[in-house]
A and B are shown apart, each in its own frame.
Chain A
């Protein structure tokens, strides 16, 4: 199968937008030990979309739908923020369980709402399961802006991420990226590069961010190329290329380090 740059480039740019916001957010998620928060927030965004349909808002009213998705994600993150304060005092190890409960509640609330809406299910699937290959340049303006904003904030004033602002930026970034690239790629872009930068053990906040971003970019590019050559679904191939690339680089890195010491 052919490699066609006009197919690959918009998808790669979408990946870059997602990485810009998700790498700083992912580092914070790892630090706080709230790995599955993105799945819960994405589910809340989906719930907002279904709610909009149920209230009779038409799929063509793009901005209204987006507003519902973001507001719903924000409500979800408010709940999770309150929970974080609560669990700080009452044993942090239960927080992940609470996030999981929020996830299933949001997911099943969608099913209950869909019961009264004849074809909402089909539309929901298209919205939540964004497919990176369908990306068009015009769709990237807002995600690029949000990506640069989050990345810039994290670079210059990391303290912003400590408080409540983390949740606002997080819901905004997740709502956008889930529709652009789908929930699997969102999870991978959030966790894998950040974890990789931790494990490869480079010092310094900025160096870690750069290493994570570099890994993410190479993984997206490799995934897009492999998916073109092998003709396999693109999102899934990128997830695998990101995981495998991290594993290989880590193995080589540690082998070299071992050889130098020995």
Chain B
């Protein structure tokens, strides 16, 4: 038992030193892209925690004590919403018993509520399953929406922390300008990519393909989590034989097996695209990541 005692003492000491540290706002970001955005807008005024990385599927998460502890201390929750985190975020908010981040509270910021969504269903039907009727949640893959979410985030931060309102607003304007500059720089890449045809894993790239004018020819796994049937795979190969695609892409958190299988069958290149930023602590993380995505796509679809 003395081991546990000494463990407890060590922990208590570390806790007291930790809690003395900060007078900044605590931000809980569900995904790395929102951690990066919050960091760009708030800088050192925020203490940011990212719950998942680009390598993890934000649908699922392993419950760790730190998740609840961070949610408990959070002043602001920045997540995708539109049911992306439906498997764990409602539970986490409930467990945190933190009124600041409850739905409709000022500290509850969902990126998908700030912009126009694609893939919304007018009529919800049982046969479609009952998820994602709210629209596709992966809004971070397009610069215009990203800039808008940035400025909305800045005004939300300003509401919570009025003393730094001007700073947040200024950073959001700068970020928006950086994105516009980058878009101009990406123009040749965009022209090269427009009209290209891709096979995707499932419907998680709509904002990117919509922005770049890329046509999605087929989906590898139409129902996420359920392995495709032989019928679906043979219809895929038949479709590709008739109307060829340029490449097969899959996200960094997705299993590459299906993509590799089809790549072998169809002689198409299959490439991994990072689904989010890798190091959100860098101020230029989001733009570098988008740059990387575009360059990878251009390389894969060349010729």
Contact = CB atoms under 8 A, between A and B. Distances in A.
Contacts of A228: 11, 65
Contacts of A229: 7, 11
B20 interface: no
Contact of A4 (B14, B68, B91): B68
A114 B15 CA distance: 46
A61 interface: no
Contact of A2 (B18, B128, B131, B224): B18
A134 B72 CA distance: 14
A121 B64 contact: no
Contact of A118 (B8, B62, B223): B223
Interface in B58-100: 59-60, 62-69, 72, 87-88, 91-92, 94-95
A117 B129 contact: yes
A115 B226 contact: yes
A132 B63 CA distance: 8
A235 B63 CA distance: 8
Between B7, B11, B63, B68, the greatest number of chain A beta carbons within 10 A of the residue's beta carbon is seen for: B63
Nearest to A58: B130
A232 B64 contact: yes
Interface string A123-156: 1011000011110100000000000000000000
Contact of B95 (A136, A225, A232): A136
B129 A133 contact: no
Interface in B92-149: 92, 94-95, 126-132
Contact of B66 (A1, A132, A136, A225): A1
Contacts of B94: 136
A252 interface: no
A10 to B, nearest CB: 9
A4 B126 CA distance: 42
Contacts of B188: none
B63 A119 contact: no
B223 A233 contact: no
A234 B64 contact: yes
B303 interface: no
A120 interface: yes
Contacts of B21: none
A262 interface: no
B63 A125 contact: no
Interface residues of B, number: 38
B69 A2 contact: yes
Interface residues of A, number: 38
A134 B132 CA distance: 24
Contacts of B87: 122-123, 125-126
Between A7, A111, A117, the greatest number of chain B beta carbons within 10 A of the residue's beta carbon is seen for: A7
Contact of A222 (B4, B88, B224): B4
A58 B63 CA distance: 25
B65 A231 contact: yes
B7 A231 contact: no
A3 interface: yes
A171 interface: no
A118 B63 contact: no
Contact of A121 (B7, B67, B226, B229): B226
Contacts of A119: 129-132, 223-224
B28 to A, nearest CB: 15
Given A119-B223, A125-B225, A131 B129 contact: no
Nearest to A117: B129
Contacts of A4: 65, 68-69, 72
Contacts of A125: 60, 87, 225
Contacts of A121: 223-226
Contacts of B132: 119
A126 B57 CA distance: 14
A111 B95 contact: no
Contact of A1 (B60, B65, B88, B129): B65
Contact of A231 (B8, B64, B92): B64
A204 interface: no
A209 B226 CA distance: 42
B57 to A, nearest CB: 10
A232 to B, nearest CB: 7
B262 to A, nearest CB: 19
6 closest residue pairs by CB, A with B: A118-B129, A121-B225, A119-B129, A133-B63, A233-B62, A131-B63
Given A133-B63, A134-B91, 13 more contacts: A59-B130, A111-B226, A114-B225, A115-B223, A120-B129, A122-B131, A123-B87, A131-B63, A134-B88, A225-B4, A233-B62, A234-B64, A236-B62
20 contacts: A1-B69, A4-B65, A7-B69, A111-B227, A118-B131, A119-B132, A119-B223, A121-B224, A123-B87, A131-B62, A133-B63, A133-B65, A133-B68, A134-B63, A224-B65, A229-B11, A231-B65, A232-B64, A233-B62, A234-B63
